[in-house]
Each structure stands twice: as C-alpha cells, then as structure tokens.
A and B are shown apart, each in its own frame.
Chain A
C-alpha cells in the first residue's frame, strides 16, 4: 500500500508521460486536414459575416473579436478605479473639509492639500488648493476609503491618461472638481489656490458616465 504522496507522484509522472500516438495520428495528414478544416471554417464564416455586415445583415453577430480602440471603447468593470474627482456641495464649493485623511493615508504621497478656514463653524475648513500628482498615484483607492465626507471618488471612468511631461500628469483643484476640463498637454498649474467665493464661479461639473462604460478619451471630445 503506497502512501498518498507516492500516489500523487505517480499521477504527476503519468500526466507528464507522452501518450503514444496511434497510426492514424502518426499519419499526420488527417490531423492536418482537421486543422485546415477548423481554420477555413473560421475564414468562410468571418468572410460571410463581414460581407453581410456591409449590406446590413446579421449585425448582431460579430465577425471579429477586435475592439478598434480609439474609435470603439471597451466596457470596463463596474468596480474599476479610474481617475479621481472631488465632489461638490450644492452651492458649488468642494465637499472636502481639508481633514488631511487622504493625504495621510496615501502610500504614494501624491496628494497635497492647503487648508483654508471655512466661515461655517460646522464645516471648519475647506481646501484652498487640492493637488494630485497622477505620475505618482498608484490607484490604490485608499483616499476614497479614508474620506469621511465622500468628497473624493474614483469614478470618472477616465483611464487613458497620457502626458508629454511629468508635470503634465499634475491635477489641480479645478481639474479635480471638473474632470476633463483641460487637456494634459496644457502647461500645469501647480498649487492653484482658490477662495470659497471663486469655487462658486467654476462651471458646473457634468455627472460622470455610469460605471462599466468608458469616458470619451482625451483630445477626442
């Protein structure tokens, strides 16, 4: 009676042993014919579908698995963490109370907040500037989890981020409040400070696209 480990070893050896081919398989030609049958079936099926698509038939059956990237966007997972945004109060000022939780928890140390005093004693503080360096960000989402005010979210569905310089990856508070308002080729504005009244003058931010879809890539809207 062999032990369990011996049996396991035996099984592994068995699985690794090459199966002996029978004469039909060794003749090689039937296997080639099978392979050619498979690939040519794909060829004719896709050719037919492509032609049918041209005249508007069978549109619901795709002829290729390709997603033509800049023209077609791939659906994303609903849980995907995408670029950050800051949420707003009803009067247009940021919800952020400059508690520094996100700046503290950030493992990449890519968030920089300058706090100002809020006139409302229940709010106490607001961010004069809120900067985020995407070149450092690791997309861990800790800032979103740490935030007690639901002021920062990662749901803009923007994930195609490219810039010509490291400074181009810098997000200032205007961009964070209104994602997509500037292109990454613009010269960066680091540590832009705004007063409470100036926040109200900023354009209203559009709602981000629903989860699972992609936002329009930069430079194409």
Chain B
C-alpha cells in the first residue's frame, strides 16, 4: 500500500492536475508550461494557506 504524507499527496495531486490543465487550457508549449506552473503554485500555495487558517481556527 502506498501511504504518502498529506503534503506529498498534495504535491502529487497538484503535479498531475496542473500538467493536464496546462496542456488543455493553453495553445503553445511555452504558454502551457507557464500555465501549468501557475496552477501548480496555486494548488500548493492554497493548500498551505488553508492549512494554516484551519490550524489557527482550531487553536
């Protein structure tokens, strides 16, 4: 059984989803790459921000 940490799961999810988003939502390879990076940063960044928000609410 594969048991990644929560953050590793977030990274894997963001990697695969942003790859598909980049390829399907833009037309040229350069724009695809940039949009993929943008989506990856948003996925991971929002997960970190929401984690801190939930941590502070739970305290």
Q: Do A and B come from one complex?
A: no
Q: Which residues of B contact A (CB under 8 A)?
A: none
Q: Which residues of A contact B (CB under 8 A)?
A: none
